[in-house]
Structure formats: C-alpha cells, structure tokens
C-alpha cells in the first residue's frame, strides 16, 4: 500500500475506529439534533418556511464541518510533534507531499461522513418543502471547498507553529470571523464594509448561495461567482498548507 493511503487509513481509524474518535461524531450529531428539536419545540421557529429551515440547517452543517476540520487540521502536524511521532514520519519513506495528501484524505473522509450524516437531518426538516435536492447538492458543492479550506489553513498553521494550541486558536479566530454573517444582522451586512467582507469571505459565499438556491430558487449560473470564490479559497489554503508542510516545525 502506498504511503499516502497508509496515512489516510491511520487518520481514518483515529477518527472512526476508536472511542475518542467516535465522540466527535456524537458531538456533531448532537448539534444537528439540538437544532432540529429546537424547531419543533419553539412555536415561532416551527412556523418558518421549510426552505428557510433547510437553509439554516445547511449553514449549521457547514459551520460545524469547518469547526471540526480546524480541529483535525490543527492536530495534523503539531499533534504528531507533541506525541513524538513527527520526526519518525519525516524520516520514514514518505515525502512531505505524500504526508500532506494522506492527512488531506483523512480530513476529506471526516467531512464525507459529516455530510452523509447531515442528509437525514436535511430530509427530516425539509422533505415537504422546496429545493431539498438542490440543498443537498449545493451543500456538497460549496460546503466541501469551504470546510476543506479551513482544514488546510489549520494544517498550515499546525506545521508552522508546531503547537496544537497555537494553531487551533489562530484557526478558530479566522473561522469565527468568517462565520460572523451567521451572528450579525442583515443591516450590518448591507453596509459598504459588510458587502466588501461578504465578497471575499468563503463562508458568506456558501451561505449566500444556499439562500439564493434554496429560498429564492436561483439557477446555477447565478452562483458561478461565489463558486469561484470558494474554489479560490480552497486553492490558496492548499498552497499555503503545501508550502508550510515542506518544512514543518519539529523541534
């Protein structure tokens, strides 16, 4: 088996085949369940259109996915260093590119599982409404580059700093800033600075796409600009991770 697949298998087993690994999946399911239960227990929320609910669920899945990607990414190099396994990895028969690809595939596997786990939730809140199929497709199309991009950002910071805490904190601050559209109201987002931030924020790009497609039923060609934004975000973060992973901090 080639080294990349070995690393991928190791990452996957750490995430899925031991107790601590499954705990993150339980926490993720807990977040989605809490939101779904809130919908049926709160009268005002239960009156929201199905499309609005599906949009909110897709945004929550993307945010939770990005958060977990940041945690996984922050552990990728700094965690190996703190466990004393980074030097053996770097001196073994595996190139830095293969190591990065293995870590990337492990991250992608985690997101794949989160995405699949979100499908029954999306179905349960949106089956009787509009655009559920589009929601599922666009969550994959836009959520994937956003989530993986944050994972690569955290990996890059992890490789540079050599500290899980430091890379996690830095990545979380960037993530928090990016998810601010979820927290601030439409009034602030409509200001000149709000619109400028929205134009370069990949998370906003994904959210605005979900809004346009799920609620307003806009066509695919109207989303091309935002698709370019999230793909550029993924590309830049991958390049950042690749450059950083060539010389990870191992002391």
Partner 1 sequence: MKITTYLLAATLLLTSGLVSAASIELQVQPDPTNPSHPTMGDWMHFNSVISNTGTKPIEGLVAWISLVEVTPGKEQPMDLEDWSAHKAVTGTTLKPGEALKTQWPMRLIQNGGYRIVISATDRNNNAVFTSPTLQFHVAQKPVVESTRILPVALGIPLLIGGLLGARKYRGHHKTT
- Which residue ranges make up the site for partner 1 (CB under 8 A)? 18-19, 22-23, 25-26, 29-30, 32-33, 36-37, 39-40, 43-44, 46-47, 117, 120-121, 123-125, 127-128
**Residue with smaller CB distance to partner 1, 26 or 224:** 26
| Burial of 46 per CB tally in 10 Å (0-12, 13-18, 19+) | exposed
**Residue with smaller CB distance to partner 1, 116 or 192:** 116
**Residue with smaller CB distance to partner 1, 112 or 235:** 112
Least Cβ distance, residue 215 to partner 1 (angstroms): 16
Least Cβ distance, residue 31 to partner 1 (angstroms): 10
Contact by Cβ (8 Å): 98, 89:
no
Structure tokens at 35: 């939101």
Least Cβ distance, residue 157 to partner 1 (angstroms): 30
The number of helix segments (H) and strand segments (E) in the chain equals: 14, 0
**Residue with smaller CB distance to partner 1, 30 or 225:** 30
Least Cβ distance, residue 24 to partner 1 (angstroms): 10
Structure tokens at 109: 């596997």
Collapsing DSSP to helix, strand or coil, 201 comes out as coil
Collapsing DSSP to helix, strand or coil, 179 comes out as coil
Residue 50 CA to residue 87 CA, distance in Å, equals 52
């Amino acid at each position: 088996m080639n080294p990349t697949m070995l690393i991928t298998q190791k990452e996957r087993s750490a995430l899925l085949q031991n107790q601590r690994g499954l705990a993150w999946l339980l926490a993720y399911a807990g977040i989605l369940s809490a939101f779904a239960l809130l919908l049926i227990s709160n009268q005002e929320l239960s009156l929201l259109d199905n499309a609005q609910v599906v949009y909110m669920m897709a945004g929550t899945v993307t945010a939770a996915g990005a958060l977990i990607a940041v945690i996984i990414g922050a552990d990728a190099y700094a965690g190996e260093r703190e466990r004393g396994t980074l030097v053996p990895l770097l001196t073994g028969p595996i190139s830095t590119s293969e190591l990065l690809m293995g870590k990337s595939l492990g991250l992608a596997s985690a997101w794949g599982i989160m995405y699949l786990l979100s499908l029954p939730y999306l179905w349960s809140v949106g089956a009787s409404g509009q655009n559920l199929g589009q929601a599922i497709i666009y969550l994959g199309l836009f959520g994937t580059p956003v989530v993986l991009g944050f994972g690569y950002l955290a990996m890059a910071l992890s490789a540079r700093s050599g500290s899980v805490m430091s890379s996690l904190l830095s990545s979380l601050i960037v993530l928090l800033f990016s998810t601010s559209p979820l927290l601030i109201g439409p009034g602030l987002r409509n200001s000149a600075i709000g619109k400028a931030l929205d134009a370069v924020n990949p998370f906003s790009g994904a959210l605005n796409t979900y809004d346009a497609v799920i609620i307003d039923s806009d066509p695919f060609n109207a989303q091309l600009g935002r698709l370019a934004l999230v793909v550029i975000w993924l590309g830049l973060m991958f390049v950042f991770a690749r450059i950083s992973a060539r010389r990870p901090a191992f002391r």
